[in-house]
Chain A
Amino acid sequence: MCTAAGIIGTGAYLPEGVLTNEELSRRLAVTPEWIFQQTGIAVRRIAPAGLLSSGMAVEAGRQALEQAGTAPEEIGLIIMASSTPDAGGPATAALIQQALHIPQAMCFDLSAGCSGFVYALATACHLVSSGFCAKALVIGADKFSRVVDPDDTATAILFGDGAGAVVVGQVPDGCGLLASDMGCDGSRFEAVWLPGPEGSRPVPAGSTVKPGPFVHMDGYQVFRFSMRVIGESVGRVLDRTGLTMADVDLLIPHQANRRIVEAAARRLNLPMEKVILDMEDCGNTSAASIPIALHHAVERGRIPPGSLFLLAGFGAGLSWGSCLLRWYDPATSC
């Protein structure tokens, strides 16, 4: 059996606590205007101490299930994409399963940095297409405030907390996931390095990354990598389908920062009207950024039925992933 699979419901959760550019500027030697000009971010959402990635993921997941009209019993697979799981074990996906009363499902976490959600979505679509399960819950959630050094300008001005989720199910042929491209260049693993759940950051022998409790990021290398890989990966996806950028209605990239996204769009000669920017009110939420931006785009009517849209993730690894999908709406049949 092999059927088409795609997104049939979306959800998002952002914590209420905010960290403004004004607050950051008091701690860092920069102005609020400079932060906004460098990032396109005005505020980041910060989860309180007791709210972990799983808690945010559950709220986003619940919303996606409701929007998809899907009962917990229908879910046979939960993939949680995150760089900040609650613990080393069990999988955070298992905690989500328990909280959402999903009785029987394969549950696992997926670590691919800010590409994680795209990796997870493609994996879920293939497992639904192959008949492994009828429906899957795919979540991207991260609590980066837990690993950001408040005095490190390079990362403190970017990252916030949040979760986004989708339900994947069978859709009519021609809808859902049409093509994907995923990869990783492990030779550049040092460009982004995170501590483990226990809060330490041991490093491999010979690594130049300094041990510590906070995320390390080589902004120069990440910026260069990102603006190039978005175009290359998206190009490969389009080549596989015989479509061109002119056929695409919308690009939803990882919301790393506005400058990276704009530079990548310029390189693709893609007008910004076709690009979703969603970082201003929530910052870079890592694996959560694409599903949050997708949910907001759906809510705002930016993705009418039949729309052809691209998701493009890039991040730690250094990894990348792109998916081309045609939006399915059960009310109008694709």
Chain B
Amino acid sequence: MTREEKVKQLIIKVGEGKITEDMITLDADLNKDLGLDSLAMVELLVMTEDAFGIQASKDDAQAAGTLRLTLAYLDKYLEA
């Protein structure tokens, strides 16, 4: 499974059945388009950290508002 596919699965899990894979485009806004509120975003962050074995800063986590931005911060941590 690619990094992108892995993150998509986590978004679907946090979405509690309200988000399907086809809704998750690279630039869909996780809050405005997919309906993840601030608590769901924290949950997604923790799930992502666990899945990839990283610890993101609060600033990075808050900036990761789309799949593309999430993959960008993962790149930063995993390729550092």
Contact = CB atoms under 8 A, between A and B. Distances in A.
B46 A267 contact: yes
A224 interface: yes
Interface residues on B, range: 10 to 19
Contact of B39 (A228, A259, A266, A267): A259
Nearest to B44: A263
Contacts of A267: 46-47, 50
Interface centre among B13, B39, B46, B47 (most CB of A within 10 A): B39
Contact of A224 (B13, B14, B37, B42): B42
A259 B42 CA distance: 11
B74 interface: no
Contacts, number: 27
B29 interface: no
A126 B13 CA distance: 40
Interface string B57-75: 0100000000000000000
B7 interface: no
A-side interface mostly? helix
A227 interface: yes
Interface residues of A, number: 11
Contact of A263 (B37, B43, B58): B43
B30 interface: no
B45 interface: yes
Nearest to A228: B46
A223 B47 contact: no
Contact of B42 (A37, A223, A266): A223
A243 to B, nearest CB: 22
A123 to B, nearest CB: 30
A224 B39 contact: no
Contacts of A266: 13-14, 43
Interface of A: 37-38, 220, 223-224, 227-228, 259, 263, 266-267
Interface of B: 13-14, 37, 39, 42-43, 45-47, 50, 58
